[in-house]
Structure 1
Amino acid sequence: MTEPPGRELSRLAELYGVAASYSPSPGRTVAASAGAVTAALAALGVDAADPGAALAAREAELAARLLPPTLVCRQGGTPEALGALPPGTVLHVETEQGESRAGTDGLPSGVHRLTVTAPDGRSARVHLVVAPSRLPTPTDRSWGLLVQVYSLLSRRSWGMGDLGDLAELAGWAGRALGAGFVQVNPLHAAVPGPPTDPSPYRPSSRRFPDPVYLRVEDIPEYAYAEDRERLRELLAEGERLRGEVLGKGALIDRDAVWEAKRQALELVAAVPLGPGRQAAYDAFLAEQGQALEDHATWCALAEVHGADWERWPEGLRDPRSAETARARAGLRDRVGFHSRLAWLTDTQLTDAQRAAREAGMAVGIVHDLAVGVHPGGADAWAQQDHFAAGMSVGAPPDAFNARGQDWGLPPWRPDRLAESGYEPYRQLLRALFRYAGALRIDHVMGLFRLWWVPQGRPPTEGTYVRYDAEAMLAVLALEASRAGAVVIGEDLGTVEPGVRESLQERGVLGTSVLWFERDWEGNGQPLPPEEWRADCLATVTTHDLPPTAARFTGEYVGLRDRLGLLTRPVEEEQAGAAADTGEWLALLTRLGLLEDGSEDAAVRAVHRFLLRTPARMVGVWLPDAVGDRRPQNLPGTWDEYPNWRLPVAAADGRPVTLEEIASSARARALFDVLREGT
């Protein structure tokens, strides 16, 4: 049903954090459909067939409850909810550190268990998150590189960039260029193909990294594998795949790369570990525990039954069933293999961060956290209780997309997160911070609310569901502080009022992209550099936008026209694009940043402009350094454009290696601008 929800349904929805209406723009409110609200409530375990009865039950439940399942306070403070407890209530805390305390004064940071007992005999045992007030922030200004790891091939890559290339890039950029960080795409484990979905933003697991990025030859056991002839054949296959991409213009073939690497890794994994390596591996297994066992089990079962667990035999759809336990025992070797790969990938990621820091980078590797996971993947299987069945994350209709968006990612249930003390979220952050100097959170607004779309319905018929942002930010502050890591929120697009202010107050940096920074409340002109915010990562472009050269030449309009993506005549689009870049060029000229009328000069000028802003971090899209014209991802396309499969290329479209970038005069001229300006 598309009619708006009634009064009782709206009130019921409010008590569960489900929106009955939303504001797509200032001053405009749109009612959500009753069907969307009812579906969202059903995904939260609420039967809203009789809204009045469900409302009465919820109000009675809340009235009887002493405390919510998770409380949050900043270190040195006291949770507000404790002030509403009846006089004489007894408080007892079991801290994360193993202490037993009466009361909550002076608690260390951590996730503790709080037991309260009221004079009338009622009691509650809840999670208590005590977190620092702010996250770590950069002490000094720095600049760095933005790159999709798979797209950066070296002379040693097996058809796509790998973690060896990342470590090499970080070492060179830190020592030779004075860069402070390298930001990469999500390196989460993908859902295996063929064909594998190439998008890094729809992974099988966000908790564990993808072993396709392993540099096989850098694994110590590689030198001791017995079948040397077969390894040489597989190495030759990796070289062939590299040659196809670099020499013949082929697209990156992730599946072919993985097939060659998988066979090589099986030979390498057959080599017994030495005592020191075995001890390190055992420690990793113990630390990762059930989560790793579940992930490796899913990988082993996917090899037998396919990559969508919802299509598996019924008994295997439950990770805790007897059938799954028997299957795990029968696939013990494959489970062990995938566990070993998780460790090896974690090790090389740690090595890359170490290489970055040893090269003098203040931050190092900036990893990217995707907003969700594939519904058929490992996380969705292992954490079923925490995901909202029958729902998908997306975006409502707005000025950029009148039809809204459905990203095909199941959302976390906010109630289950709270009941668990945010355990899956904490584990996820802790895993990523193991090897990250900073973390970029895609669609950071999702810490506050997400647009839930009922399965089978268009995204226009969704609604917002709210999360406990204070708890989400507290857990983020806790884990980031423990790791000493910076956090960057991708806060582009439509942002709810107050969100940016809350993020800034907690120390989360924002994201500012040059083309979007205009005086939208005034004359609409480009925002002068001194008016930019300081607490941000400032860039000219992103992986979802045209490279800077294509923006200045207008080539991106022609690309969108050829793919049928324009919503108005191409002449109007070209005129609009020319006017947009013309305004920026005029400002660059007035500021004395533009050397001449060449394309290279314009690219350098916009980066000089970024250095005029107070932004704490300034990022350079690596393909811009060599004049690449092609976006890595073109939103709104699927088969029409090779999203996420393009190598970094020069202005003429010829793929270039890491070694060629390091020796490029064009790249060096741009990097000199950044090095001299920070």
Structure 2
Amino acid sequence: MVDKQIQLLCEEHGIESNYVDAWGNPATVVPESKEKLLAAMGYAVDDAEALGEQIHQMQIRKWQDPLAPVIVSRDLHQLHFEVSVAQQQVSALLKWTITQEDGATHQGTLTPIEGEKVAESEVDGVLYQRYGVSIHQQLPLGYHTLTLSNAIDEVIAETSVIVAPRACFTPDTVKQGAKLWGPSVQLYCLRSTRNWGVGDFTDLEFLIQQIGDKGGDFVGLNPIHALYPSNPESASPYSPSSRRWLNIVYIDVTAIPEYTACDAAKQLVDSDAFKHRLELLREAQWVDYTGVMEAKLEALDLVFETFKEQELRRNTKRARAFREFVKAGGESLLEQASFDALQRQFISQGMNAWGWPAWPEEYQDFSNEAVAKFIKKEKSKVDYFAYLQFVADEQLQAANKVAVDAGMKLGIYRDLAVGVSEGSTELWANKSLYLQGASVGAPPDILGPLGQNWGLPPIEPETARQQAYQPFIDLFRSNMRHCGALRIDHVMALLRLWWIPAGETADKGAYVYYPIDDLLAILALESVRNECLIIGEDLGTVPDGIFETLQENGVYSYRVFFFERSKEDGGFYSPQHYPVQAMATLTTHDMPTLKGFWQCDDLLLGKELGLYRDEEVLRSLYADRHESKQRILDSLHGMGTIPQSVSTDVNWVAMTKELNYGMQLHLAAGSSALLALQLEDWIEMDKPVNVPGTSSEYPNWRRKLSRNLEEIFADTDIESLLAELTTTRESANGVGLK
């Protein structure tokens, strides 16, 4: 009995029993994992009677609610949806009203039985029937409301209606065959003669200007989501506190308008002691997040005092702009600012307040009375962090304006992380949305032989649906600000995520499915409204049909050269055969640099860090790497992208600038509309920025570039490379178009 109940619930919640692994073999989820995931959702999996009652209550809700909590449509001419009614009401006339988001209304009537019956079920002795009905009414793209009333005008149901376009936005130049290129960078890695030990938005402006001047059309960024200003060593951009707000470590303090009017801040920054601090922070090989954040907050505290005195109290134009920003940010900005203010206070009191679970109990939920009292009593502390978000947004906008003014086709492209960390603002403020008894990761695959546990609590699909997908709408919209493209990390999350029950290893997880059609529709709507091209990182274990689904929805694929190999003979596909609707890249932030790959530095490092099960696995990886390098040489020589002076035998070929640049130009000649290359490879670095499957074993997300930006763009070899990239991409215009 319990087994049938558990299987029913697994089907209801999209928990898959079987899947195909990264090597193409059938795999089965262990029953215990499914039970633990359902238990984390609150189901009494060990009590058949209690579980039966929970299922019964679920059925009542499912059939007694006349309308789904949200209706998503791609049809601009009619709205199709389902209505659930008791059998005796199937012939009753219902009045409908559609209220558009602009306030315009449309009205009419419908009778359920005149539609198509799609299902029925008896609940507590009452037979319910569900009918598919249609309203023939032209509706604009957007977010609307549907209301159903009975004959005496009593409202019996109301739901959200989302009308979305068929596909995401693509710029006309790209549609016409333009081949764009640009670097993808980890913003914190950037060195310069003026920053404070971490790349900032002014460095980004400089980089954008340089790339635009040399023919590039975008600069790609790591996720720049809000992290933890008072716990700066929690530095992974893929484990943020909030994906709706920005990481304030990227603020250039000296570029804030109030800084120039703040004598105290200028005296601090100009002091010999502070200059020495900044010099040490700049010279450090690894980003010293604690040192950087302490220095910035020390100065920002003073700048904010000037803002209060000279702007807020005088109600200046800038003060009004700040208040408008706070108003537009709404509850979400209040949550973020309150979280940061509370965490700063607790840590200043000596607590290990790494995230809300470590806070005093009365502060562990945004909705608690103690939090409301703090916000009221310490308004200035909360306003401070809202101000820092205001400044960060302002500086990001200024950086994107540099791209627009330079005529770049895309400008900034941002990166959306797959989730938030367990101690985050997002969980603190909306716990019902997340499943806290599980975390997101990946099953064993080529990048992570033991599987990966990212420590990110998953969003519950049904809860998001009950909230009319508002969390996803807000998420997509906020990440399309001040940019021309958005890369969605692990885009498979729109279809399914690998959930790992708390306390289990990564291989003991299960795939849980999400409403991909609805989520892609919302993504397309926000993409079109914001004129933002969408790139989906579709690596790893990808089920059949998903590539075609993403392409139909206008999402650009993500093609990594090292993974584009024939299953038959192991040879590398010619970049001319890559999909046009794609971004091509040689390597990624989760992989070794070109130099590191060729020298097998990543395998040696993996051995030192204990990532491989045994020597046999490591030997096979070395053998495969040797074979890969030979195949790469074969491909490069076959396409004539490296000179004959480079040996055709891998045993005699070391990684040289000639080979490095040859690989980049090889990919540049390909058919994909977008080409992203890494600054690390332009300057021939060998150390990776991140080693998947590690946390404290390696200083992930801290490795800086080996050269300053000013030096990089003064390098004549790099200047020649960028000129060749531009020429090669222009020559590839239209390649691969039908």
Give, in whole Å, the separation in 1 of the partners of 2:56 and 2:362. 37
What whole-Å deviation, never above 9, does each CA across 1:506-549 have from its counterpart, x for those lacking one?
A: 101111000000112x2221112232111111000111111112
Distance in structure 1 (CA, Å) of the matches to 2:271 and 2:460:
44
Structure 1 residue aligned with 2:444, among 392, 397, 403? Answer: 397
Matched, 1:350 2:391: no
> In structure 2, how many angstroms separate the alpha carbons of the residues matched to 1:23 and 1:100?
48
Distance 1:503 1:259, change over 3 A: same
Q: Which residue of 1 aligns with 2:72?
A: 72
Q: Does 1:628 align with 2:628?
A: no
Amino acid at match of 2:248: P
Q: Please tell me whether the aligned partners of residues 75 and 109 of structure 1 are also in contact (alpha carbons under 8 angstroms).
A: no
Question: Is residue 375 from structure 1 mapped to residue 407 from structure 2 by the alignment?
Answer: no
TM-score scaled by length of structure 1: 0.92
Q: Residue in 2 aligned with 1:97?
A: 102
Aligned-partner SS, 2:517: helix
RMSD (Å) for aligned C-alpha atoms: 2.5
Match of 1:560 among 569, 583, 606: 606
Equivalent position amino acid for 1:214 in 2: I
| Amino acid of the structure 1 residue aligned with 2:15 | V
What percent identity do the matched residue pairs reach? 33
Aligned counterpart in structure 1 of residue 257 of structure 2, from 198, 211, 220: 220
Matched, 1:269 2:304: yes
Aligned to 1:418: 465
Q: Which residue number corresponds to residue 253 of structure 1?
A: 288
Q: Is 568-577 or 70-79 further displaced after alignment? A: 568-577
Q: 1:540 aligns with which of 568, 586, 602?
A: 586
The 5 A counterparts of 1:291-440 are 291-305=332-346, 306-398=353-445, 401-440=448-487
Given candidates 188, 198, 211, the residue that maps to 2:235 is 198
Q: Which of 274, 284, 292 lines up with 2:325 in the alignment?
A: 284
Instruction: Give the secondary-structure state (helix, strand or coil) at the position aligned to 1:663.
Output: coil
How far did 1:337 drift? 0.3
CA 1:164–1:430: 2 relative to 1, 3 Å: same
Distance 1:592 1:259, change over 3 A: same
Q: Matches of 2:12 and 2:692 in 1, distance apart?
A: 36
Deviates more, 1:510-519 or 1:221-230: 221-230
Report the alpha carbon displacement of residue 454 of structure 1 after superposing the two structures with TM. 1.9
Are residues 212 and 337 of structure 1, via their aligned partners in 2, closer, same or farther at CA, if it must alter by over 3 Å? Answer: same
Structure 1 82/561 Cα, relative in aligned 2: closer, same or farther at 3 Å? closer
Give the corresponding residue for 2:141: 109
Q: Deviations over 1:308-339 (max 9, x none)?
A: 21222222222122221111112211101001
Alignment partner, residue 199 of structure 2: 161
Q: Is the 8 A contact 1:5 1:37 kept in 2?
A: no
Deviations 1:232-289 (A, max 9, x none): 357963664344543xx53210111010000111111111227221121111011111
SS at match of 2:672: coil
What TM-score do the two structures reach when normalised by structure 2? 0.85
Partners of 1:39 and 1:179 in 2: how far apart?
Answer: 49
Counterpart residue number, 1:644: 701
Mapping for residues 515-664 of structure 1, pairs under 5 Å = 515-520=562-567, 522-566=568-612, 567-568=614-615, 573-595=621-643, 596-597=645-646, 599-649=656-706, 656-664=707-715
Measure, in 1, the Cα distance between the counterparts of 2:628 and 2:101: 54
Report the CA distance shift for 1:440/1:242 in structure 2 as closer, same or farther (over 3 A): farther
Mark the runs of 5 or more structure 1 residues left unpaired by the alignment: 650-655
> What residue is the counterpart of 2:119 in the other structure?
none
2:327 is aligned with what amino acid?
Answer: A
Q: For residues 238 and 370 of structure 1, what CA distance do their matches in structure 2 show?
A: 35
Q: Is the 8 A contact 1:112 1:129 kept in 2?
A: yes
The SS at the match of 1:227 is helix
| Alignment-mate amino acid for residue 463 of structure 1 | A
Instruction: Could you tell me which runs of 5 or more consecutive residues in structure 2 were left unpaired when the two chains were aligned.
Output: 109-134, 347-352, 647-654, 730-738
Provide the rounded CA distance (Å) in 1 between the counterparts of 2:576 and 2:202. Answer: 39
Residue range with higher mean Cα deviation, 432-441 or 274-283: 274-283
Deviations 1:179-222 (A, max 9, x none): 00000111111134545222111011111101110011110110
CA–CA separation in structure 1 for the residues paired with 2:544 and 2:202:
42
Q: Secondary structure at the match of 1:603?
A: helix
User: What secondary structure, in the 3-state scheme, does the structure 2 residue paired with 1:129 have?
Assistant: strand
In structure 1, distance between residues paired with 2:188 and 2:24: 44
Contact kept, 8 Å, 1:447 with 1:473, in 2: the verdict is yes
Task: Report the CA distance shift for 1:152/1:116 in structure 2 as closer, same or farther (over 3 A).
Answer: same
- Offset at residue 147 of structure 1 (A): 0.6
The 3-state SS of whatever aligns with 2:21 is strand
SS of the residue corresponding to residue 90 of structure 1 reads strand
Q: 1: distance between equivalents of 2:248 and 2:205?
A: 16
Contact 1:15–1:58 (Cα < 8 Å) also in 2: no
Give the direction of change, closer, same or farther, for the CA distance of 1:83–1:54 in structure 2 (3 Å limit). closer
Q: CA deviation at 1:155?
A: 1.0
Name the SS of the counterpart of 2:20 in structure 1.
strand
2:677 matches 1:677? no
Please list the CA deviations of residues 449-488 of structure 1 after superposition, one character each: whole Å capped at 9, or x if unmatched.
Answer: 1122222222333222221111211111111111101111
Q: 1:277 to 1:130 in 2, by over 3 A?
A: same
1:134 is matched with 167
Letter in 2 for 1:666: D
CA distance in 2, matches of 1:314, 1:324: 11
CA contact (8 A) 2:668 2:725 kept: yes
In the alignment, the residues of structure 1 paired with residue 80 and residue 625 of structure 2 have an alpha-carbon distance, to the nearest angstrom, of: 52
How big is the shift at 1:349?
0.6
> Which is higher, the Rg of structure 1 or of structure 2?
2
Following the alignment from structure 2 to structure 1, what is the Cα–Cα distance between the partners of residues 409 and 217?
5
Change (3 A) 1:556 1:451: closer
* Deviation, structure 1 residue 31: 3.6
